Every structure is written in C-alpha cells, then in structure tokens.
C-alpha cells in the first residue's frame, strides 16, 4: 500500500466525544485529504461536518462530509470510536458485551463496502474490541490496530516529567498490557534522557522515593476514573494519540508506538491483542518490538494477557 500522491481518506465512525475531538485534531494537523463522518445519529454527523467545514478558511485544505458505509470503500483508514461510554464506577472490561454487539454490525457494514485499508480501534475495552474487529473483518492482523496503551504511555511520560522537572519529550518509557486495570509500567527500561531512572535518581534526585514512583503509576492507571468523575469522559488526549497513530500510517513513519496488536509468540504470548511497543507504517503494524523485561514485569504482562483472554471467551458465542 503506497499512498504516494494518492488522495488519502479517513473515515471516522462515531461522532461522540472522542470522534469529534479526533475530527477537530485531524483538520488542524493537515494529515489527510478527505474526512468522512459516520454516526447512527445522522444529524449529529451532518452538524459536525458543517461546523468543521466552516473552519477550513483557518486551516488546511480538506474535503469533509457526513457519509455512510459505502464511503469506506475508498478509505485508507477507518477509525472506530463508536460505542457505549465508560460510566463512573465502570471498568473498561464492563463494556465488552454491549460494545462487541455494536462492533459486529459496524465492522460487517464497513467490510461490505469493499474496504481494504487499516482499522484503528479506539472504543473500550480497546484490546478486546481490536481482537473482535480482526476476527469480524477477516483482515490480516497488521491492518487492525488498537490505540492500546499510547495514552497510558503519554500519561506516564507526563507525570514523570512533572516529578523530575524535565521536558516530557526527554522522558522515555512504556506502559504495556491491557489498556485498563492490569496494565504495567516497564520501570526497568524507563529512561530520563539516556540515563536509567534508577541511575538518574541516584545522581540528580536523591530525595526521590520509590513510593512516589508507585503513586505516579497508580495515577496513570486510574487517570480515566479521575477524569470521568470530574467531566464525564476522556477525549482530548486520546484524540491526539489517535492522530499520532494516523500520521505514522499515512506518512509511513516506521514509528514505535505502544499500540494494541496481536501477540504471536512475542513475550511468550499468543492469540491476544494488548498494548506493546510496535513499529507502525503504511502497512499497519510491521512488527512487535520485544524489549527486555525483568521477571516481575514479564509476570505482570502474562497476567494482563490472561485477564484479557478470559474476558474475550464469551465474545464469539454471540
């Protein structure tokens, strides 16, 4: 798949908080030539298209319209943000049954159009629904990508940057596993600049405490709960993460991002989608990067995968 000078089209399915935030980011970052909005509420999609089009004099040239599933045939990327939202007190895994049923219809309709591009899945529980999209679509696994732990990783980097008073762009570390309660921080590979986090604390921040770092991770893991309690939904940061992923695909960047993709033996895991560092380009996921984990991290990742596998068991009895 070589985009070259081809007109690039992104279809956004679901114009709720995440979908509309993503659409607004897309128009502002000159990523694609065409954007199609699809929603069960056709008037909402039409209203968003009108509103976005009125901003074109201030942004980059783009063709934007409210469409239907037939528009997916020529799409390079279909981004799915539709589905039931996480409510206060709900975990992401609580959403499996209702959102899997919604996805079966959406993915079937997209594939009926003749779509042959790349799916990006953002709806929660994103790992389970990415796996479901892969199964429902029949596409190769590299062309079904979940947003995974890109947002968790960004939250991790931000909070560490605050703690150490270092530019967030110089914090290097990953959150892996489920985008949810069983995710894990890879402390053994976390770097501040080129220094390991342990070495950096030893040299430059002797007052740092391991308890502080654990609290930082807990705030990363539980961030969605805190935000949902305050404003009902999280959408700005994940929208920006989705744009980052869209750019990596359309611009053939070979970027390493912690997306949700299918493990096929990597880290000793099989037949499960979960957040891992992977190279992303115009073909989708080129390959998973297997970073070295310590024994504790490997055990946590295996546990996370097992929780996701158990959660998926009822999916394909629908």
Separation CA 186–CA 153 (nearest Å): 10
Record the tokens describing residue 140, joined without a space.
Answer: 């190769």
Element containing residue 184 per DSSP (H, E): strand 184-185
Q: Count CA atoms closer than 13 A to 175's CA, side-chain side.
A: 27
Distance of CA 104 to the CA centre of its chain: 19
Residue 125, preceding peptide bond in cis (omega within 30° of 0): yes
What are the residues whose beta carbons fall under 8 Å from the beta carbon of 29, sequence distance 6 or more? 60, 243, 247
Determine the pLDDT at residue 41.
96
Query: Residue 268's closest CA among 243, 236, 249, 293?
Result: 293
Q: Count CA atoms closer than 13 A to 260's CA, side-chain side.
A: 37
CATH assignment of 9-146?
3.40.50.720
Determine the pLDDT at residue 285.
98
Show which residues are catalytic.
179
Determine the Cα angle at 250 with ends 40 and 114, to 5°: 50
User: What is the C-alpha end-to-end distance of the chain, expressed in Å?
Assistant: 34
Pair 49, 29: CB distance under 8 Å: no
CATH assignment of 150-317?
3.90.110.10
Sign of CA dihedral 134, 137, 138, 139: negative
Query: Residue 144's closest CA among 109, 176, 107, 179?
Result: 107
Determine the pLDDT at residue 86.
66
Mind listing the pLDDT tens digit of every residue in the chain (318 residues)?
556 578 999 999 999 999 999 999 999 998 999 999 999 999 999 999 999 999 999 988 999 999 999 999 999 999 999 987 767 766 666 778 888 889 999 999 999 999 999 999 999 999 999 999 999 999 999 999 999 999 999 999 999 999 999 999 999 999 999 999 999 999 999 999 999 999 999 999 888 888 999 999 999 999 998 999 999 989 999 999 999 999 999 999 999 999 999 999 999 999 999 999 999 999 999 999 999 999 999 999 999 999 999 988 877 654
Determine the pLDDT at residue 315.
73
DSSP characters for 88-117? Answer: TT--GGGGHHHHHHHHHHHHHHHHHTT--S
Phi, psi of 283 (to 5 degrees): -90, -5
Pair 68, 38: CB distance under 8 Å: yes
Element containing residue 163 per DSSP (H, E): helix 150-164
Annotated domain spans of the chain: 9-146, 150-317
Determine the pLDDT at residue 64.
98
User: How many of the other CB atoms lie within 10 Å of CB of 167?
Assistant: 9
Distance of CA 316 to the CA centre of its chain: 23
Q: Would residue 293 be called left, alpha or beta, if left means φ above 0 and alpha means ψ between -120 and 50 degrees?
A: beta
Pair 241, 26: CB distance under 8 Å: no
Sign of CA dihedral 95, 100, 101, 106: positive
Query: Residue 190's closest CA among 159, 231, 232, 234?
Result: 159
Instruction: Please tell me if the domain spanning 9-146 has the same topology as the one spanning 150-317.
Output: no
């Amino acid at each position: 798949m070589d985009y070259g000078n081809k007109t690039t089209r992104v279809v956004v399915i679901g114009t709720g908080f995440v979908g509309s935030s993503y659409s607004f980011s897309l128009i502002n970052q000159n990523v694609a030539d065409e954007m199609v909005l699809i929603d069960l509420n056709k008037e909402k999609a039409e209203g968003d298209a009108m509103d976005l089009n009125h901003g074109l004099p201030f942004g980059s040239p783009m063709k934007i319209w409210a469409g239907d599933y037939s528009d997916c045939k020529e799409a390079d990327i279909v981004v799915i943000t539709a589905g039931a939202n996480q409510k206060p007190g709900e975990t992401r895994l609580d959403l499996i049954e209702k959102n899997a049923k919604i996805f079966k219809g959406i993915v079937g309709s997209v594939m009926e159009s003749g779509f042959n591009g790349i799916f990006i899945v953002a709806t929660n529980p994103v790992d389970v629904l990415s796996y479901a999209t892969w199964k429902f679509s029949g596409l190769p696994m590299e062309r079904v990508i979940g947003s995974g732990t890109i947002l968790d990783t960004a939250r991790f980097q931000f909070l560490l940057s605050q703690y150490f008073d270092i530019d967030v762009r110089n914090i290097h570390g990953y959150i892996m596993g489920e985008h949810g309660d069983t995710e894990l921080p890879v402390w053994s590979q976390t770097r501040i600049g080129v220094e390991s986090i342990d070495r950096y604390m030893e040299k430059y921040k002797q007052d740092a405490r391991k308890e502080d770092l654990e609290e930082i991770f807990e705030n990363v893991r539980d961030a969605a709960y805190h935000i949902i309690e305050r404003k009902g939904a999280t959408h700005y940061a994940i929208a920006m993460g989705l744009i980052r992923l869209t750019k990596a695909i359309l611009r053939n960047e070979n970027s390493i991002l912690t997306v949700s993709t299918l493990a096929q033996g990597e880290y000793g895991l099989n037949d499960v989608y979960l957040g891992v560092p992977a190279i992303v380009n115009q073909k989708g996921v080129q390959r998973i990067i297997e970073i070295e984990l310590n024994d504790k991290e490997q055990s946590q990742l295996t546990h996370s995968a097992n929780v996701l596998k158990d959660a998926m068991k009822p999916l394909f009895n629908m």
